[in-house]
Amino acid sequence: MKSSQLHKGILSLYEKLRKKMREKYNRHVSFGDLMTDRWETAKKYGFGEGASCYDNVLILGDVKVGEHTWIGPNVILDGVGGLEIGSYCTICAGVQIYSHDTVKWAISMGKEEREVAPTQIGSGVFIGPQSVIQKGVRIGDRVVIGAMSFVTTDVPSESRAWGAPAKVQVR
Answer yes or no: do 16 and 86 share one domain: no
State pLDDT tens for residues 112-126: 999 999 999 999 999
Is the pLDDT assigned to residue 170 strictly greater than 80?
Answer: no
Determine the average pLDDT of the residues in 131-151.
98
What pLDDT band is residue 2 in, cutting at 50, 70 and 90? confident
**What residue numbers bound the domain in which 19 lies?**
1-35
Same domain, 90 and 22: no
* Average per-residue pLDDT for the chain: 95
CATH assignment at residue 51: 2.160.10.10
Shared-domain flag, residues 69 and 142: yes
Same domain, yes or no: 83 and 162: yes
Question: How many Cα atoms are found within 13 Å in the side-chain-facing hemisphere of 168?
Answer: 15
Whether the predicted pLDDT of 28 surpasses 90:
no
Q: Residue 86 in contact with residue 141, Cβ under 8 Å?
A: yes
